[in-house]
Amino acid sequence: MEIGFTLNGRHVEVSCKPSTLLSDLIREQLSLTGTHVGCDTSQCGACVVHLNGDSVKSCTVLAVAADDGEVRTVEGLCAVDGTLHPMQQAFHENHGLQCGFCTPGMLMSAIDLVKHIPDPTEAEIREWLEGNICRCTGYQNIVKSIIAGAAAMRTAS
């Protein structure tokens, strides 16, 4: 079937099977490999993208759900000139990553969190990230990064 949607600010038209997962469409057909698939069971959060403004685990969403909608992946966070999104910059400055596998999902979840709770507490951040697994960091620098990113996002708006 043919679907069309806005991907990172650009309209795309693609053909896919009705059973195609959004994560597979993004990675395999559209070649945006920043969205990672770590578990195939919706437990790790590495595949989080924004669909119509909300964070979703793209390994559990059919691609057809994006038809006539808007999808934003980690590749869509940077400005056209390459300037990092405030949350990306905060992760960089606060060492919020190690191997980087979970980072795209963490970033997308963190940005959605700040949309809902502009000044989140550490407890709110930890609760929001329960669906995102990081096996490297112990989360402390991720939490620190999100606090700094939230502050930078408030300043930028």
Report domain extents, the chain.
Answer: 2-76, 86-156
The pLDDT score that the predictor gives to residue 127 is 97
For domain 86-156, give the fold.
DNA polymerase; domain 1 (1.10.150)
Query: Which regions in the chain score pLDDT beneath 50?
Result: none
For domain 2-76, give the fold.
Ubiquitin-like (UB roll) (3.10.20)
The pLDDT score that the predictor gives to residue 137 is 82
The pLDDT score that the predictor gives to residue 155 is 94
The pLDDT score that the predictor gives to residue 112 is 98
Question: Measured between alpha carbons, how far is residue 104 from residues 14, 57, 84 in Å?
Answer: 23, 12, 13
Where residue 84 falls (left for φ over 0; alpha for ψ -120 to 50; beta otherwise) is: beta
Inter-residue contact 104 to 34 (CB < 8 Å): yes
The pLDDT score that the predictor gives to residue 138 is 81
